[in-house]
Amino acid sequence: MQYVSTRADASAASHSLQQFSDILLGGLAPDGGLYLPVEYPQVSGEELNKWRHMSYADLAVEILKKFAGDIPEADLRALAHKTYTADVYRNVREGEKAADITPLRVLDETEGKQLVLQSLSNGPTLAFKDMAMQLLGNLFEYALAKQDAQLNIFGATSGDTGSAAEYAMRGKKGIKVFMLSPHKKMSAFQTAQMFSLQDPNIFNIAVEGVFDDCQDMVKAVSNDLEFKARHKIGTVNSINWARVVAQVVYYFRGYLAATRNNEQKVSFTVPSGNFGNICAGHIARQMGLPIDKLIVATNENDVLDEFFRTGVYRVRKSAETYHTSSPSMDISKASNFERFVFDLVKGDGKRVRELFKKVETEGGFDLSGAPGSDGDEFKLVANYGFKSGKSTHADRVQTIRDVADDYGIVIDTHTADGIKVAKEYMEPGVPMIVLETALAAKFNETILEALGQDAERPAGFENIEALPQRFEVMPADVSKMKAYIAANTGL
């Protein structure tokens, strides 16, 4: 499989095609775009039948090999089996099997409308990021060992990517992690999870700004090609295609576990911020997985909900980005949205460049087809199955209470946003799978408010907030950031 940048000129595309292994360590494309495969590999009914009873690791191999043909299948198999084990994804609820890796639980079935929770947060850091990040850590180690190279990961987090990356990369030979997070905007648990790590290869930088400021800096540093090459900069954000592809696997797993035959369809509701998770669902659908709807659930930071309702993409400035009780979704400039726009404009990289230039200069674009708009591609969105909705603090507190009362489980604030929105789109005969993107323990402040009691804590995290913390506070200033990285890479 070959890869092309979302901003590549069609005429020049043949000169800039890359292999999976080439883009694995590099992250952002040199033209500032994101990588996508030149075409989505297709999945047949026969394959789906074969995959129904496979282990998660074997299913991952089947999907990965369609995207990473330049890595020998035996190596992919070894990596997947090292990653997707019951021991790594052990934080399951009572009655669920860790060996399922992403267990499904039917919450409700009323009048043929099935509400299902797919648990993606059983890994070491209690969020769905572990699903891809654990694999990425092993892939990086594999690729670096082959080249005897080193990698300095420069990433941005609103709370979960950071800890997942640091837990996956700590102690890994040849890898350092520089992770930007918005100062004082993560939950106490998330902050402690990252900042209490004392490993010498981990550098936590609390930025005076919001997540979007952090992600902008990651992109600015990556766009300085000379600096990027000299300091061997790579990324673990969903900028990195391997992250997205690893997330495609659990959509297949969810579909296969919720259905009996390939005639059946399911819908997915996805708590969304940077659009990486649901972008993986979009790719699964484009590969032929029988997904009916893909529902984008946002919190009060509703840029994506606005687009999927109106066709207007209007990013918010840092000062207009709210600090909410589902803080990992406090994002107003969703990076992976560019991947979807590339598909929406039929792979026209020049048009993607123009549209995202407009985002920089005018704060957005309008594809609604209204007089004076920038295009009318919004009418095509329905072909991709996208719908959307929004949830507020009051909604998520109420949803956490309702789910505890009705189904006897405690969900986190992001999953609550998902369930609130999912309920607006349930249909008889089409299971609605809500992705559980984190465990409640990470957002205890809101659980306490909703239920009057603490969230259960998996073993090993009992007193995490009391541990000593190590981090730097820095302004959102690219040149200062580069100086910090340069001083610490030793290159």
Ligand X SMILES: Cc1ncc(COP(=O)(O)O)c(C=O)c1O
Ligand Y SMILES: N[C@@H](CCOP(=O)(O)O)C(=O)O
Name the one range near ligand X by CB under 6 A: 38-46, 271-279, 370-378, 394-402: 271-279
271 touches ligand X by CB under 6 A: yes
The residues in 272-301 that bind ligand X, with binding defined as CB under 6 A, are 272-277
Yes or no: say if 282 and 294 are a contact pair by the CB < 8 Å rule: yes
Nearer to ligand X, 2 or 163 (CB): 163
Q: How far is CA 100 from CA 55, 117, 119, 398, in A?
A: 8, 14, 10, 30
Q: Residue 43 binds what, of ligand Y, ligand X, none (CB under 5 to 8 Å, by partner type)?
A: none
33 touches ligand X by CB under 6 A: no
x/- map, 311-330, ligand Y, by CB under 6 A? -----------------x--
- 134/88 Cα distance (integer angstroms): 9
237 touches ligand Y by CB under 6 A: yes
Strand partners, 295: 269, 387
158 touches ligand Y by CB under 6 A: yes
x/- map, 323-362, ligand Y, by CB under 6 A? -----x------x---------------------------
Total Cβ atoms within 10 A of residue 459: 7
In the complex, what is the shortest distance from the CB of residue 3 to ligand Y, in angstroms, rounded to a whole number?
18
Q: Residue 157 binds what, of ligand X, ligand Y, none (CB under 5 to 8 Å, by partner type)?
A: ligand Y
125 touches ligand Y by CB under 6 A: no
DSSP string covering 346-409 = TT-HHHHHHHHHHHHHHSEEE-S--TT-S--GGGGGGGGTEEEEE--HHHHHHHHHHHHHHHS-
On the 0-12 / 13-18 / 19+ scale of CB atoms within 10 A, 445 is: middle
Non-local (6+) Cβ contacts of 237 within 8 A are 27, 155, 156, 161, 215, 218, 243, 274, 276, 335
- 87/83 Cα distance (integer angstroms): 9
CA angle 296–298–300, rounded 5-degree value: 160
Which element (helix H / strand E) includes 192? helix 188-195
160 touches ligand Y by CB under 6 A: yes
Nearer to ligand X, 258 or 438 (CB): 438
In the complex, what is the shortest distance from the CB of residue 483 to ligand X, in angstroms, rounded to a whole number?
28
83 touches ligand Y by CB under 6 A: no
215 touches ligand X by CB under 6 A: no
In the complex, what is the shortest distance from the CB of residue 301 to ligand Y, in angstroms, rounded to a whole number?
11
329 touches ligand X by CB under 6 A: yes
Place of tokens 């979807």: 340
In the complex, what is the shortest distance from the CB of residue 127 to ligand X, in angstroms, rounded to a whole number?
5
- 23/234 Cα distance (integer angstroms): 9
Which element (helix H / strand E) includes 214? helix 211-223
x/- map, 270-299, ligand Y, by CB under 6 A? ---xx-x-----------------------
In the complex, what is the shortest distance from the CB of residue 243 to ligand Y, in angstroms, rounded to a whole number?
7
Q: What is the 3-state secondary structure (H, E, C) of 249-304?
A: HHHHHHHHHHCCCCCCCEEEEEECCCCHHHHHHHHHHHCCCCEEEEEEEECCCCHH
The residues in 244-273 that bind ligand Y, with binding defined as CB under 6 A, are 273
Name the one range near ligand Y by CB under 6 A: 159-167, 441-449, 453-461, 472-480: 159-167
Q: Residue 18 binds what, of ligand Y, ligand X, none (CB under 5 to 8 Å, by partner type)?
A: none
162 touches ligand X by CB under 6 A: no
CA angle 454–455–461, rounded 5-degree value: 105
Residue 81 dihedral angles phi and psi, to the nearest 5°: -75, -25
Residue 191 dihedral angles phi and psi, to the nearest 5°: -60, -50
Nearer to ligand X, 76 or 249 (CB): 249
Q: How many residues bind ligand X (CB under 6 A)?
A: 16
First-to-last CA distance in the chain? 33
Yes or no: say if 185 and 161 are a contact pair by the CB < 8 Å rule: no
Q: Residue 201 binds what, of ligand Y, ligand X, none (CB under 5 to 8 Å, by partner type)?
A: none
Q: Name the catalytic one among 50, 82, 97, 129.
A: 129
Nearer to ligand X, 387 or 482 (CB): 387
In the complex, what is the shortest distance from the CB of residue 158 to ligand X, in angstroms, rounded to a whole number?
6
129 is catalytic: yes
Q: Residue 437 binds what, of ligand X, ligand Y, none (CB under 5 to 8 Å, by partner type)?
A: ligand X
Residues with active-site annotation:
129
Binding site for ligand Y (CB under 6 A): 157-162, 237-238, 273-274, 276, 328, 335
Residues in contact with ligand X by the rule CB under 6 A: 127, 159-160, 238, 271-277, 328-329, 414, 437-438
